[in-house]
Amino acid sequence: MNSTTNMNPLDDDNNRIGHVIDLLTAQDATTWTITSLSFASQLILLGLYFQNGVTPFGRGLISLLGAVVAGVFLLFVSRSNWYMAKYMGLLSGTGRDEFKLILPGQSFLQKHPRLTQLALDKVLSAQTILAMVHGMFVTLWPTLFLLGLYGFLAIK
């Protein structure tokens, strides 16, 4: 008798769900690794920027490098968040109760249905907060560059 005919279809579904959970876990670890590298690089660049003895030209180069690094990390975090959302979509599509997650703000929105347009679950998610912090770095560096260019930052 063939071993494939004895397989339970639920076992195959459980294996597939297990693979998606493994992918989701690995993607979450990737997101946090990218975030820690990003924060470390941004802090190093900020430390270099505000050190004494750095010329205005050097600050300009550090600002441009910081903007590029922040933009690249923002793309990495956005891509990783996209993958995690797809994996969660696959898991919630199974219809199993354990994958019907209550997101932050969801219980509040159930009590106050008129506020559902605010999408608090999206605003309060870690994914959104990480993307917003990286977006802040993307805007910080050009701001520092322009302030230095026009002489508003008198750092000696």
Residue type, 2: N
* 20/28 Cα distance (integer angstroms): 12
How far is C-alpha 61 from the chain's CA centre?
26
Average pLDDT score over residue span 93-119: 61
CA 59 – CA 139 distance, rounded (Å): 16
Return the pLDDT at 154.
58
3-state helix, strand, coil in the chain (%, to 5): 80, 0, 20
Confidence of residue 116 (pLDDT cuts 50, 70, 90): low
- Cα–Cα distance, 44 to 87 (Å, whole number): 34
Per the confidence metrics, is the pTM higher than 0.85? no
pLDDT in tens, 10-60: 667 778 888 888 888 888 888 889 999 999 999 999 999 999 888 888 999
Averaged pLDDT, 117-141? 75
> Per-residue pLDDT for 120 more than 60?
no
The confidence score (pLDDT) of residue 1 equals 45
Scanning the structure block, which residue is given the tokens 């560059």? 145
The one-letter amino acid at 79: R
Q: Write down the pLDDT at residue 86.
A: 85
Alpha carbon 100 to chain centroid distance? 22
Helix, coil or strand: residue 55: coil
Residues 6+ apart with CB under 8 A from 16: none
